[in-house]
Amino acid sequence: MMPKPFRVDFRADASEEIGLGHVMRCLTLADALSARGSECRLIFRALPGHLAEHIEARGHRPEPLPVPVDAIADPDVYGTWLGVSRVQDAADCSNVLAQDPPDILVVDHYALDASWERAVCPQGTCLVALDDLANRPHACNIFLDQNLGRHDSDYDTLLPADCLRLIGPNYALLRPQFAMARKEALARRTGKPCHQLLISMGGMDKSDATSKMLLELAEMHLPTDFAVCVVMGSASTNLDRVRKIAAQMPFATEVLFDVADMAPLMATADLAIGGAGSTSWERCCLGLPTLLLTIADNQRSIAQALHNSDAAFYVGDVRESGWTSALRAALSRAVQQPEWLFGMAKTASAICDGRGAERVADAMFEIVQGEIAKGHSV
């Protein structure tokens, strides 16, 4: 008799304020777990910019929490991302989980910590926490921080002693398309001149950095065969503005939105300009040289770690002055010094091989199956 498939619930949010990254990486893990027979459900607050339709399109069950009635005041900026108080969020999630307790609960939210996890996680459920900040405790069985430069010791005082720690880009949650495209993409990194630029500042690009950088590029003396591909989300309020600017660019500029598979675009690009979020590991997997910009404080450590390792070049933060001129200087260097990009590509490709989601899913199954075999809960 085949064993009953594991039930896995995720708690993560996407919104205009938060962006899409947390839910998207949870979906990647959910895909890997589903391929192993699991049934996955994503619990999210119904904030503006949520991804309910996308969750369902990926074959997983969306479970929206009630829409917040009033804005909340919280001295912690991440606390405001919940839309409700932590106590209310815990109560709402507990109600959902009590009706149908999962075998595994995955939590990926900067506003949630050990107190929420203890209050919400059903007895006997394996808790998996995803985090990047190393700034608060977690009461979990498995912990994942996929960022470069992070060490086990960063969490010595924040995690249970018996918690399995999965640390570093070796566990980066990438869709299988990136591992599949890796060999061909790396074969293209031969040190040839830069002609194809990929710009991707996330699905929302709340700061409208894309429009600003296109205006800068329009003033530069770039090769006549230079081409730009811009990728955005259809929910971005700046999409129409970007399209208008793209139509007036002095070289070929296309604008794509809601791209389902970024791997081919990254594999054929010579250079990327992008944010220092989870997409950083996709670019590393395909050896794509990158000029990095940060759009949030939690991205700074990623950008600096990649810059220090020569796997990318950190230009600056879009919320601060001076980044546009710094970007122009870096892009000029990239066009004039293809050997700089070649070295960056080689270093980046050694950081991540694209198989992290498989490793994380395997670790989760091993622990849960092992506990079931021993006849007790995790």
Cα 185 to Cα 189, 196, 263, 278, 343: the distances in Å are 7, 14, 9, 19, 15
Residue type, position 304, single letter? Q
Percent of the chain surpassing pLDDT 70 = 96
Task: Check: CB of residue 309 under 8 Å from CB of residue 169.
Answer: no
What is the mean predicted confidence (pLDDT) over 90-102? 96
Question: Looking at per-residue confidence, does 6 or 270 come out higher?
Answer: 270
CA-to-CA distance for 300 and 284, rounded, in angstroms? 17
Does residue 55 register a pLDDT over 60? yes
Q: What is the C-alpha to C-alpha distance for residues 101 and 45, in angstroms, rounded to an integer?
A: 19
Residues 6+ apart with CB under 8 A from 343: 310
State the Cα–Cα distance between residues 257 and 253, nearest whole angstrom. Answer: 13
Q: Compute CA 158 distance to the chain's CA centroid, rounded to the nearest angstrom.
A: 22
Cα gap 311→290, rounded to integer Å = 8
Q: What is the pLDDT of residues 285-311, one digit of tens each?
A: 999 999 999 998 889 999 999 999 999
Q: Are 21 and 15 in contact (CB under 8 A)?
A: no
pLDDT digits (tens, 9 = 90+) for 116-172: 999 999 999 999 999 999 999 999 999 999 999 999 999 999 999 999 999 999 999
State residue 2's pLDDT score: 38
At 378, the pLDDT band (50, 70, 90 cuts) reads: very low
Tens of pLDDT, residue by residue over 209-267, are 999 999 999 999 999 899 999 999 888 889 999 999 999 999 999 999 999 899 999 99
Give pLDDT, residue 235: 82
